[in-house]
Chains A and B, each alone.
Chain A
Amino acid sequence: MRGSILIWILVLIVAALFVDQVPRDAITANLMDLLPHDQRDMTVQRALDTVSLESRRQVFFLVSAKNRAGLVEQARQLQSLVDASGFFKSGSANRYNPSALFRYRYVLLTAADRKRLVSGGVIAQARKELFGPAGAVRAISLQKDPAFLFQHYVESLLPASLDNSLGFPSVDQGGEYYGLIARQLKGTSSGILQMRKLWSFITALEKNAALNVEVTGYPVFSAYGASTAQREITIIGSISMLAIILIILLVFRRILPLLLVIVSITGGALVAAVVTFAVFGRVHIMALVAGTSLIGVSIDYSFHYFCHRFNDGNVEVSGGTGGVIRGLTLGMVSSVSAYLLLTVAPFPGLRQIAVFSASGLFVTWLMVITLYPAVYKPKRPKPDGSRVNEYRADALADAINRLSWKLKNNILNHRKLFVVALGVFLVIGIFRVKPADDVRQLQSAPLNLRSGDAKIRSVFPDLPDSRFLLVEGSSSAQVSQISRKVASRLDALKRSGDLTRYQSLVDAWPTVQAQRSNYNLLRRNLYDNGHLAAWLASLGVAKGAIDAEYKKFQKQAGVTVTADEWEKRVPPPWNLLWLGCKQGQCGGIILLYGINDPGRIAGIAKQISGVKFVDQVRAISTVMHDTRIHASWLLGLAALVLFVVLAPILGGLASLKVLAVPTSAILCSLAMTGYFGVPVSLFNIFALLLVLGIGVDYAIFNHLAGSHDRYLGLAVLLSACTTILSFGLLSFSSTTALSAFGLTLLFGIAAALVLSNLVRSGDWRAG
Chain B
Amino acid sequence: MYRVRVGLLVLIMPSLVFAATHDQQTLASIESRLGTYPVIIARMSISQNISILSRPVVSSGHIVVDRRLGVIWQIDAPFASTTMFPVSASAGASSAEPGARIVSKLISTIVGGQFNDLTAYFSVDAVAMSPDGDFSVTLKPVNSGLARMFSRLVLRGSRELKLVELVSANGDTTRYEFSDYQHPATGKASLSEYLPMLR
Residues of chain A at the chain B interface (Cβ within 8 Å) = 67-69, 71-73, 76-77, 80-81, 84-86, 92, 95, 127-140, 142-143, 151-152, 155, 158, 160-167, 169, 171-174, 459-462, 539-542, 545
**Docked complex Cα distance between A167 and B16 (Å):** 18
Contact of B5 with A84 in the complex, beta carbons under 8 Å:
yes
- Of the candidates A69, A81, A137, the one whose C-beta lies within 8 Å of that of B102 is A137
Contact of A86 with B97 in the complex, beta carbons under 8 Å:
no
Can you spell out 11 A-B residue pairs with CB atoms less than 8 angstroms apart?
Answer: A67-B117, A92-B144, A132-B100, A133-B101, A133-B103, A133-B104, A137-B102, A139-B50, A143-B52, A163-B93, A171-B90
Chain B residues with CB below 8 A from A158, complex form: 98
Chain A residues with CB below 8 A from B121, complex form: 68, 72, 165-166
User: How many residues on the B side are at the interface (Cβ–Cβ under 8 A)?
Assistant: 68
- Of the candidates B1, B24, B75, the one whose C-beta lies within 8 Å of that of A69 is B24
- Of the candidates B79, B97, B172, the one whose C-beta lies within 8 Å of that of A139 is B172
Q: Is B51's CB within 8 Å of the partner chain A?
A: yes
**Docked complex Cα distance between A171 and B88 (Å):** 9
Contact of B90 with A461 in the complex, beta carbons under 8 Å:
yes
Chain A residues with CB below 8 A from B97, complex form: 129, 134, 151-152, 155
Q: A152-B97, A158-B98, A165-B101 are in contact. Are A143 and B51 (CB under 8 A)?
A: yes
**Docked complex Cα distance between A255 and B50 (Å):** 91
Q: A67-B117, A131-B81 are in contact. Are A167 and B103 (CB under 8 A)?
A: no
- Of the candidates B20, B98, B116, the one whose C-beta lies within 8 Å of that of A67 is B116
**Docked complex Cα distance between A541 and B117 (Å):** 37
Q: Is B126's CB within 8 Å of the partner chain A?
A: no
Chain B residues with CB below 8 A from A545, complex form: 52
**Docked complex Cα distance between A193 and B2 (Å):** 15
Smallest CB separation, B138 vs chain A (Å): 16
Chain A residues with CB below 8 A from B16, complex form: 76
Chain A residues with CB below 8 A from B109, complex form: 68
Contact of A134 with B2 in the complex, beta carbons under 8 Å:
no
B34-42, B129-137, B162-170, B186-194 - interface stretch: B162-170
- Of the candidates A72, A92, A142, A542, the one whose C-beta lies within 8 Å of that of B54 is A542
- Of the candidates A81, A131, A136, A138, the one whose C-beta lies within 8 Å of that of B75 is A131
**In the complex, residue of chain B having the shortest beta-carbon distance to the beta carbon of A500:** B92
Chain A residues with CB below 8 A from B90, complex form: 171, 173, 461
Chain B 44-85 near chain A by CB (<8 Å), digits 1 or 0: 001010111111010100000000000001010011010101
Chain B residues with CB below 8 A from A84, complex form: 2, 5-6, 8-9
Smallest CB separation, A79 vs chain B (Å): 11
**In the complex, residue of chain B having the shortest beta-carbon distance to the beta carbon of A137:** B99
**In the complex, residue of chain B having the shortest beta-carbon distance to the beta carbon of A81:** B9
**Docked complex Cα distance between A652 and B91 (Å):** 72
**Docked complex Cα distance between A73 and B16 (Å):** 9
Contact of A167 with B89 in the complex, beta carbons under 8 Å:
no
Chain A residues with CB below 8 A from B174, complex form: 135-136, 139
Chain B residues with CB below 8 A from A131, complex form: 46, 57, 59, 75, 78-79, 81
Contact of A137 with B93 in the complex, beta carbons under 8 Å:
no
Q: Is B198's CB within 8 Å of the partner chain A?
A: no
Smallest CB separation, B94 vs chain A (Å): 9
Contact of A71 with B120 in the complex, beta carbons under 8 Å:
yes
**Docked complex Cα distance between A171 and B87 (Å):** 10
Q: Is B142's CB within 8 Å of the partner chain A?
A: yes
Contact of A155 with B99 in the complex, beta carbons under 8 Å:
yes
**Docked complex Cα distance between A164 and B148 (Å):** 13
**Docked complex Cα distance between A414 and B109 (Å):** 87
Q: A165-B101, A171-B90, A540-B55 are in contact. Are A132 and B2 (CB under 8 A)?
A: no
- Of the candidates A86, A135, A152, A162, the one whose C-beta lies within 8 Å of that of B91 is A162
Chain B residues with CB below 8 A from A133, complex form: 73, 83, 85, 96, 100-101, 103-104, 107
Q: Is B196's CB within 8 Å of the partner chain A?
A: no
Contact of B98 with A160 in the complex, beta carbons under 8 Å:
yes
Contact of A459 with B100 in the complex, beta carbons under 8 Å:
no
Q: Which 10 A-B pairs have the closest CB atoms?
A: A167-B143, A137-B99, A68-B120, A134-B100, A136-B174, A540-B54, A84-B5, A69-B119, A134-B99, A161-B92
Seed contacts A81-B6, A131-B78, A139-B172; 13 additional CB < 8 Å A-B pairs: A77-B13, A84-B6, A86-B2, A133-B96, A133-B103, A133-B104, A136-B174, A139-B57, A140-B170, A164-B145, A167-B144, A171-B93, A462-B91
Contact of A169 with B83 in the complex, beta carbons under 8 Å:
no
Chain B residues with CB below 8 A from A143, complex form: 51-52
